[in-house]
């Protein structure tokens, strides 16, 4: 069973649902997004009735927007409790405190931000909404002198994003201050099966342009990444699943691995894999349909998949607008030039940049010796692809 919502449903997901006839909640979003009438729609009552037939129903969402609906109608599944344990970053840190007893974190209300004594913080540290999404309102505080400007920008972010997402997805009433987690960052699409075992569907390395960068510009995967991290992440996820008591539960988890190979979670996005259907990258890289894996409770045949000696890199690039360019000042996007930057552009997904501040998601295959193409796009402000008025 699946609940679809804004901001985006990929054709790949839609076609999977038409072919498999997995039940889909008919809601306002499915109409607004213009989704196919060939989907196996159920109204609210029928969807709930179907879920009640199973002691632990398999439910997936492509977005976190339906969290409020789940909390209202699916309390009997136990899903709302798990969702809140993960969506609320303070609650999540409390949940895993025994796993990381020395980890510093602190909750603070938005209206109390002005009263923060910067001298009491273990700098560098990071501040972000306790319930957040898409790196909105996330800032690294490296020094005392940076704080006034960060505070000013943070308040502007809150004002600019009011009303764009439900409170269950982004809530800027409270923030969390926590220590910087050093090391390489990875994002893992995983589900816990009926036995509570974690089934990894993809591992994405998240690249950054600098220590201060908190954007979502470039994610990549490769057979080398999978070979290196599959077993360590499986072991970590087993421990997390035991602490949280998870089964029949999909999620997207972001972690960092420090110089001592210690895996520390950043945050968990419950009920879904990578947002904006970015999880579809697993199809291009490994031929894995992550949606079918979850609903059929199957595991990718990683030993055979990883036998290939290919060193190709499969990436997803988020083409976000420069912060100093207003969407209304843009005449058009030069999508042809943008795609031409990549060695093998696999799929371009155009996005309404006036609504979302992003003009495209680009999937691409890159030979190992051409990795610099991805590093260049990571450093670019992307202005070369904008045609201004």
User: What angle, 0 to 180 degrees and rounded to 10, lies between the N-to-C axes of helices 223-244 and 79-87?
Assistant: 120
What are the CA-CA distances from residue 107 to residues 110, 130, 137, 330, 378 (Å)? 10, 8, 15, 39, 32
Give the single-character DSSP code of 108.
E
How is the chain split into domains, by residue range?
2-86, 89-179, 184-388
- Count CA atoms within 13 Å of residue 253 on its CB side: 25
Give the integer Cα–Cα distance in Å for 42 and 385. 42
Spell out the alpha helix ranges (H) of the chain: 11-20, 28-32, 44-52, 67-73, 79-87, 89-95, 147-161, 223-244, 281-286, 290-296, 302-305, 335-340, 353-356, 372-379
Across the beta sheet with 105-109, what order do the strands follow?
105-109, 171-179, 125-131, 139-141
pLDDT of residue 144: 86
Residues 6+ apart with CB under 8 A from 57: 1, 50, 51, 77, 248
CA distances from 339 to 43, 312, 371 (A): 40, 18, 16
The answer as to CATH 3.30.1490.20 being correct for domain 89-179 is yes
Number of H helices, E strands in the chain: 14, 18
Q: Could you give the CA distance from residue 115 to residue 309 in angstroms, rounded to a whole number?
A: 56
- Dist. CA 94–CA 358, nearest whole Å: 34
Low-confidence ranges of the chain (pLDDT < 50): 167-169
Q: Do the strands 139-141 and 171-179 form a parallel or antiparallel pair, or are they unpaired?
A: unpaired
Q: Which of 140, 200, 50 is nearest to 59 (CA)?
A: 50
- What is the per-residue pLDDT for 189? 98
Distance CA 148, CA 275 (A): 32
- DSSP codes, 259-282: TT--EEEEEEEETSSSGGGGGGHH
* Contact present, 138 and 130 (Cβ < 8 Å): no
Q: What is the pLDDT of residue 122?
A: 82
Task: Name 139's bridge partners.
Answer: 127
pLDDT value at residue 323: 85
Residue 172 pLDDT: 58
Residue 3's pLDDT is what?
98
Q: Which CATH number fits domain 184-388: 3.40.50.1400, 3.30.470.20, 1.10.260.30, 3.40.718.10?
A: 3.30.470.20
Q: What local confidence, expressed as pLDDT, does residue 169 receive?
A: 47
Helical (H) or strand (E) element with 131: strand 125-131
- Least Cα distance to 42 among 62, 21, 56 occurs for 21
């Amino acid at each position: 069973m699946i609940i679809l919502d804004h901001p985006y449903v990929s054709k790949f997901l839609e076609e999977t649902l038409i072919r498999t006839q997995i039940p889909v909640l008919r809601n306002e979003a499915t109409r607004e997004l213009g989704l196919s009438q060939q989907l196996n729609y159920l109204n609210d009552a029928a969807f709930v009735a179907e879920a009640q037939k199973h002691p632990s129903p398999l439910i997936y969402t492509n977005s976190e927007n339906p969290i409020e609906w789940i909390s209202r109608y699916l309390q009997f599944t136990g899903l709302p409790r798990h969702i809140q344990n993960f969506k609320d970053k303070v609650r999540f840190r409390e949940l895993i405190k025994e796993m990381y007893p020395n980890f510093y974190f602190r909750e603070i209300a938005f209206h109390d931000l002005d009263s923060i004594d910067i001298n009491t913080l273990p700098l560098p540290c990071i501040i972000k909404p306790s319930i957040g999404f898409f790196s909105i309102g996330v800032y690294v505080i490296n020094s005392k002198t940076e704080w006034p400007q960060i505070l000013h920008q943070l308040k502007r972010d809150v004002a600019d994003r009011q009303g764009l997402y439900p409170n269950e997805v982004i809530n800027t009433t409270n923030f969390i201050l926590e220590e910087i987690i050093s090391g390489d960052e990875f994002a893992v699409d995983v589900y816990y099966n009926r036995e509570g075992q974690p089934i990894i569907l993809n591992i994405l390395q998240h690249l950054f342009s600098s220590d201060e960068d908190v954007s979502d510009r470039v994610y990549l995967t490769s057979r080398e990444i999978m070979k290196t991290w599959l077993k360590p992440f499986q072991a970590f996820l087993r421990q997390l699943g035991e602490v949280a008591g998870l089964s029949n539960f999909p999620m997207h988890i972001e972690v960092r691995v420090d110089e001592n190979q210690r895996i520390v979670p950043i945050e968990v996005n419950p009920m879904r894999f990578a947002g904006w259907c970015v999880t579809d990258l697993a199809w291009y890289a490994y031929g894995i349909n992550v949606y079918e894996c979850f609903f059929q409770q199957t595991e990718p045949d990683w030993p055979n998949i990883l036998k290939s000696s290919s060193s190709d890199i499969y990436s997803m690039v988020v083409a976000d607008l420069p912060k100093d360019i207003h969407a209304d000042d843009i005449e058009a996007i030069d999508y042809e030039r943008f795609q031409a930057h990549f060695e093998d552009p696999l799929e371009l997904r155009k996005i309404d940049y006036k609504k979302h501040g992003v003009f495209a998601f680009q999937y691409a295959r890159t030979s190992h010796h051409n990795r610099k193409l991805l590093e260049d796009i990571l450093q670019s402000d992307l202005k070369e692809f904008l045609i201004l008025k």
